[in-house]
């Protein structure tokens, strides 16, 4: 007599075998990659099966699916022009439209704070005209980011400056090299200072001034950090004003040069 537990295990084994067939099809026909991670082995076969079905549907429909305006995709909702709404009405209507977008698995994200009136204008005057695949796949969201249309240069410059300093003064990783311009990466100015120390301790970093246009930026900062000289226990203390110069390359703000404060 087969117990319920044995039957359950057999069904799971069949599902896992079927899932492997689906994976092989995705790998062979579409070049899919499935990393061997512990979380994948713990995933219930029913959920994995649904996931693979969604991916397979996405891939097989890709060549035949047509593109339509997002406005059509979400059912051509009625809306008023932004100039015809009060501030209070704009917020109400913005919530209505974002809720509608969400119901169609469309997500609009912002990295920085954006006024409700501007977001409403953006949705009705620009986003509605963006083309999107005319298909619905359960659980698969299409995400739009406001800053991809209207970059917030000041935010990006500040973030990249902080990321660069934190990584540059962390001998455990070389992430900072990905924040360099192509010219700076080929140069060696960023290597000599860093290689002279075995470790750093960053105590403070704050931006005190920022000037930029659409192609270049200059960041003035105050910094306090200590560096242990490589091969000894001697510490050098660097504190005071410094400067970062950035260039915009590949639609991305990159560090081109740095001035480090003198040691005490």
Rounded Cα gap, residues 212 and 157, in angstroms? 9
pTM tops 0.75, yes or no: no
**152-167 tens-digit pLDDT:** 999 999 999 999 999 9
| Nearest residue to 50 via CA among 135, 139, 133 | 139
Distances (CA, A) of 23 to 31, 42, 46, 164, 217: 10, 16, 14, 40, 47
Task: Extract the residue ranges of the chain whose pLDDT is less than 70.
Answer: 1-10, 30, 36-42, 57-63
Per-residue confidence (pLDDT) for residue 6, from 0 to 100: 58
Per-residue confidence (pLDDT) for residue 61, from 0 to 100: 62
Are 45 and 19 a contacting pair, CB within 8 Å? yes
Per-residue confidence (pLDDT) for residue 138, from 0 to 100: 81
Per-residue confidence (pLDDT) for residue 225, from 0 to 100: 97
- Tally Cβ neighbours within 10 Å of residue 76: 10
| HEC-encoded secondary structure of the chain | CCCHHHHHHHHHHHHHHHHHHHHHHHHHHHCCCCCCCHHHHHCCHHHHHHHHHHHHHHHHHHCCCCEEEHHHHCCCCCCCCHHHCCHHHHHHHHHHHHHHHHHCCEEEECCCCCCHHHHHHHHHHCHHHCEEECCCCCCCCEEEEHHHHCCCHHHHHHHHHHHHHHHHCCCCCCHHHHHECHHHHHCCHHHHHHHCEEEEEEEEEEEEEEEECCCEEEEEEEEEEEEEECCCCCEEEEEEEEEEEEEEECCEEEEEEEECCCEC
User: In the chain, what is the greatest distance between 2 CA atoms, to the nearest angstrom?
Assistant: 83
Per-residue confidence (pLDDT) for residue 7, from 0 to 100: 56
């Amino acid at each position: 007599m087969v117990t319920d537990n044995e039957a359950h295990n057999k069904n799971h084994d069949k599902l896992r075998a079927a899932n492997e067939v689906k994976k092989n099809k995705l790998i062979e026909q579409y070049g899919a990659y499935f990393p061997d991670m512990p979380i994948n082995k713990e995933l219930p076969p029913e959920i994995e099966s649904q996931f693979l079905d969604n991916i397979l549907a996405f891939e097989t429909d890709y060549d035949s699916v047509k593109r339509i305006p997002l406005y059509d995709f979400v059912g051509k909702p009625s809306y008023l022009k932004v100039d015809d709404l009060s501030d209070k009405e704009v917020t109400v209507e913005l919530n209505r439209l974002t809720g509608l977008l969400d119901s169609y698995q469309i997500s609009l994200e912002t990295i920085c704070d954006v006024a409700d009136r501007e977001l409403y204008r953006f949705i009705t005057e620009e986003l509605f005209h963006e083309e999107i695949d005319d298909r619905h796949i359960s659980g698969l969201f299409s995400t739009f980011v406001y800053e991809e249309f209207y970059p917030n240069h000041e935010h990006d410059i500040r973030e990249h400056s902080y990321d660069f300093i934190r990584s540059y003064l962390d001998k455990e990783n070389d992430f900072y090299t990905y924040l360099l311009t192509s010219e700076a990466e080929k140069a060696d100015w960023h290597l000599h200072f860093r290689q002279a120390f075995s470790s750093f301790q960053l105590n403070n970093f704050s931006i005190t001034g920022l000037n930029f246009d659409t192609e270049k930026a200059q960041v003035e900062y105050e910094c306090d950090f200590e560096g242990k000289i490589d091969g000894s226990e001697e510490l050098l203390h660097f504190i005071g004003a410094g400067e970062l110069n950035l260039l915009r390359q590949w639609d991305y703000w990159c560090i081109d040069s740095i001035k480090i404060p003198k040691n005490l």
